[in-house]
A = this chain, B = another copy of it.
Amino acid sequence: MLENLTEMLKGVLEGCVLELISRGETYGYEITRRLNALGFSDVVEGTVYTILVRLEKNRLVDTEKKPSDMGPPRKFFVLNDAGREKLRMFWEKWAFISSKMNELKERK
Contact = CB atoms under 8 A, between A and B. Distances in A.
For the residues of A in contact with B, the DSSP-based class is: helix
B7 A92 contact: no
A98 B96 contact: no
Interface size class of chain A, counting residues whose CB lies under 8 Å from the partner chain: 20 to 34
A40 B100 CA distance: 8
Contacts of A105: 19, 91
Contact of A38 (B40, B92, B94, B100): B100
15 contacts: A1-B96, A2-B92, A3-B89, A5-B96, A7-B11, A8-B12, A8-B97, A9-B11, A12-B101, A16-B104, A19-B105, A38-B103, A38-B104, A40-B100, A94-B101
